[in-house]
Amino acid sequence: MAIRRIAQIGHPVLREISREVSVEQLRSDEMQRFIDDLIETMRDANGAGLAAPQIYEPVRICVIEVRNNPRYPERPNIPLTVLVNPRLTPIGDERFDNYEGCLSVPDLRGVAPRHAVLRVEALDRHGAALDFVARGLSAGVYQHEVDHLDGKLFVDRVVRPSTLSTWREFERHHQASATEHARAIVARYGS
Ligand code: NI
């Protein structure tokens, strides 16, 4: 396993539409090692998720894990999930304001509206089908990561640029209200 470099905003790889992965490719040793690297790189950087194009491989794979994350103390835990060729389908019309940051967008946070309830269909790292419903803050993480596979960054989703903030100013001026907002979302959607 290896910790890879993370592409930064402005690099064209972050704007590519990533390609689908066949089950045969997925099961290769090379792709399994790649997924291990993606997980290790996410954990090393304290990310809540990481998508393959962020480590310069435009394939439709992303990993998600929230485990008492110091970058996102307001977020409930999400067990390690590997999504291959994911498809998200919103359930209902509800949206919520999600405070986001990204390892490819240094020192910036902002509010992006996201669907509150989603169906998530994907393959797991071994090629088995996944099909589940994600809600609230977890749904926000899934949308952020799958956006990366379509060449989109959270800054493209920020409707009110006045919500943009460095991490330092976020902690000083917005953390308290964001934590309260996050608690309300968790209370409403269960995650
Ligand atoms: Ni990101």
49-62: b or e for each residue (b if 16 or more CB lie within 10 Å)? bbbbbbbebbbbbb
- Asked if 20 is an active-site residue, the reply is no
Q: Tell me: the pLDDT tens digits for 98-117?
A: 999 999 999 999 999 999 99
Distance in Å, CA 143 to ligand 1 centroid: 10
Q: What's the pLDDT score for residue 64?
A: 97
Distance in Å, CA 27 to ligand 1 centroid: 25
Distance in Å, CA 22 to ligand 1 centroid: 24
pTM of the model: 0.96
Q: Tell me: the pLDDT tens digits for 24-80?
A: 999 999 999 999 999 999 999 999 999 999 999 999 999 999 988 887 777 788 999
Distance in Å, CA 47 to ligand 1 centroid: 8
57, 65, 100, 145: the catalytic one is 145
Q: What's the pLDDT score for residue 76?
A: 82
Distance in Å, CA 121 to ligand 1 centroid: 20
Distance in Å, CA 180 to ligand 1 centroid: 23
Q: How confident is the model at residue 81 (pLDDT cuts 50, 70, 90)?
A: very high
Q: What's the pLDDT score for residue 73?
A: 76
Q: Tell me: the pLDDT tens digits for 92-101?
A: 999 999 999 9
